Amino acid sequence: MSITLNRQIRFVIPPERAGGALLDFLAVRFTYHSAIEWRERMSTGRVTVNGQRAVPEQVLVAGDELAYDASGIPEPPMDDRIRLVHCDDDLVVVDKSGNLTCHPGGRYFNHTLWALLQTRHGIAKPTFINRIDRETSGLVVISRTPAATKNLRAQFAERRVEKRYEALVEGAFPDRVACAGWVVADFSGEVLKQRRFIPVRTETDFDGKNLKPEGEPPSPEAQWAVTAFRREAVHGPISRVTVWPHTGRLHQIRVTLQSLGFPLVGDKLYGVDPGFFLRFCRDELTPADRARMRLPRQALHAAGLRFRHPRTGQEMVFDLPLPDDMQGVIHACAAT
């Protein structure tokens, strides 16, 4: 990328973090730099407290505002291929690659869809209406005005948007099935962000589109999720499946497929081996792991969207073909 954005990280000290030295706090809270590196950055004025140049031994007070000029932090490489499928004064629809984070977070800033839209396409302050996982390819909707944001978010929240995904799953998937149930946090493993699906209703003769929550939620944070699936083809050991998520919960498609016994091809967190994700984080995936995954990323593609233009009310329909990497897995499995 020829243009980069300057990253400013700001953090307000909560009461429970007051009383400690600034250097100790930074080294524990922001581990992408060592204590020595933080000391060096303070010596060059890149860290301030309440607008004043900070020193390592400075004692923190509740309400202090830390600011760090984080420009130049090394970021993991991304697949930065993006294509503007539609662009007008109100919204942008993007087709993104299967290895690109949507929004800044952690070590990702300039290597994100958010930054690319600004530096490569001149789209100032893009607001994401839907976000898909870093390893999910396909359609993302971005609004460009407050009015468009309000309208589009209402359409998604009220389920007036039709979303369609294409997936490759392990095994011979049923002809058609719809699942409704609860997505909850899963604290049984080592991965904090992991989720679990508790099915309430699984049938083959309904799509579940307008199905309301049934029964009491299993926990206060449980989220009702409804997903419909249709098998398109079986290719040796895998199936190609079309997916209609009628709700939009974190990891909804992935955990529902896992609960059905047909995990996504290439899914490190909910795939055929629960150890994939931790070995990936430690950079310890073996050649046997990679072969078993079949694809370096999860085989999930946001292929279709249908909604109303936020200003004109015109129906907007977008359809994408299956990306080359997923096609490659199909051809390889069909040949076995």
Residue 231 makes CB contacts below 8 A (sequence gap 6+) with 173, 174, 175, 176, 239, 240, 241
Strand partners, 143: 91, 127
Cβ(252)–Cβ(245) below 8 Å: yes
Residue type at position 326: M
Active site residue 207: no
Tokens for 150, please give them: 């309000």
Residue of 24, 69, 88, 133 with catalytic role: 133
Round to whole Å and give the CA distance between 115 and 54.
29
Cβ(265)–Cβ(168) below 8 Å: yes
What stretches of 87-187 show up as alpha helix (H) in DSSP?
Answer: 113-119, 146-157
Strand partners, 90: none
Round to whole Å and give the CA distance between 308 and 312.
8
Cβ(143)–Cβ(129) below 8 Å: yes
- Tokens 């004109």, residue located: 312
Show which residues are catalytic. 133
